[in-house]
């Protein structure tokens, strides 16, 4: 076990998921503060690569600050940014109908897209509490009318303080079924996200490790990109889930509290809330 930890610590660059790794909802996970401080203290290159599309990098930075973790916005890359970048490469200056939160809408605006609920080029779905039957019906009509269906990420569920909630993949599914089509998902495990992550870190895959709590997005993304994988059991995936998948993580940890040197002596740090 110690050899595994030494190997993880030796990596120069870290790609890190957030939900289930750093926090659940508005509750920071044990050891997350120490882990991020260790990354900075050790001069590691690191990027929080999240499938969540709700918040902008600035908002994510502010959220972590409320949890006692100080990280500049430049250390965040979201599925909203990846989606906006992908669509801009496909149809510059296009239009979209969006079901999602301000982080997604702002990313699309910044990429040069306009909002259009009549005849958009794309219907884009992310996580959002504005999801309603009316929005669902409109999305189906627009897709049947020729708009292409895009999901920010394929996650079916996400972890919060109280357990598990539906995520983007679950919200897109009714539109796929009703419109008899399949969405294109931009977030992990799409290789686009991993390539963006490595470019932002200015790192090679051989010197990078990805840390996540999901076998079906984080770990498979690392496996397919040939990046060292670390599964933490602090989020969605449990040990008994792992045999169901045809691939395995390289390393399995209880949480990020195990990674910083000396952290094993204090596994129950104070829980902060945003």
Return the active site residues.
Answer: 17, 19
Longest C-alpha distance within the chain, in Å?
Answer: 60
Contact 214, 236 (CB under 8 A): yes
Contacts with 257 (C-beta within 8 Å, 6 or more apart), sequence order: 29, 30, 31, 32, 34, 35, 263, 264, 266, 267, 269
User: Pairing between strand 228-232 and 208-212?
Assistant: parallel
- How far is 84 from 126, CA to CA, in rounded Å? 12
- Take residue 180 and report the two structure tokens written for it: 């008899």
Beta bridge partners of 165: 158
Sort strands 163-166 and 157-160 into parallel, antiparallel or unpaired: antiparallel
- 50 beta partners: 78
Under a CB-based contact definition with an 8 Å cutoff, are residues 104 and 124 in contact?
yes
Instruction: Please write down the long-range contacts of 197-203, taking CB distance under 8 Å and 24 or more positions apart.
Output: 197/15, 197/47, 197/49, 197/77, 198/13, 198/15, 198/225, 200/47, 200/77, 201/13, 201/15, 201/45, 201/46, 201/47, 202/45, 203/12, 203/13, 203/45
Question: 51: buried, middle or exposed (CB in 10 Å: 19+, 13-18, 0-12)?
Answer: buried
């Amino acid at each position: 076990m110690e050899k595994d930890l030494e190997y993880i610590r030796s990596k120069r660059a870290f790609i890190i998921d957030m939900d289930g790794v750093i926090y659940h909802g508005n509750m920071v996970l044990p050891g997350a503060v120490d882990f991020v401080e260790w990354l900075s203290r050790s001069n590691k290159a690191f990027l929080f690569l999240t499938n969540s599309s709700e918040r902008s990098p600035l908002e994510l930075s502010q959220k972590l600050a409320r949890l006692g973790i100080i990280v500049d916005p430049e250390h965040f890359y979201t599925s909203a940014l990846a989606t906006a970048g992908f669509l801009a490469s496909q149809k510059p200056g296009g239009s979209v109908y969006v079901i999602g939160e301000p982080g997604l809408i702002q990313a699309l605006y910044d990429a040069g897209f306009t909002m259009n609920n009549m005849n958009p080029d794309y219907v884009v779905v992310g996580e959002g509490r504005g999801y309603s039957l009316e929005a669902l019906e409109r999305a189906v009509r627009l897709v049947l009318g020729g708009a292409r269906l895009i999901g920010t990420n394929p996650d079916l569920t996400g972890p919060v303080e109280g357990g598990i909630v539906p995520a983007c993949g679950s919200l897109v599914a009714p539109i796929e079924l009703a419109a008899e089509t399949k969405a294109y998902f931009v977030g992990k495990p799409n290789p686009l996200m991993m390539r963006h992550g490595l470019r932002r870190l200015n790192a090679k895959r051989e010197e990078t490790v990805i840390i996540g709590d999901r076998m079906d997005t984080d770990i498979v993304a690392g496996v397919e990109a040939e990046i060292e994988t670390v599964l933490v059991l602090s989020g969605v995936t449990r040990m008994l889930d792992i045999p169901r998948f045809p691939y395995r993580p390289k390393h399995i940890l209880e949480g990020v509290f195990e990674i910083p040197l000396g952290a094993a002596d204090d596994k129950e740090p104070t829980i902060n809330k945003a």
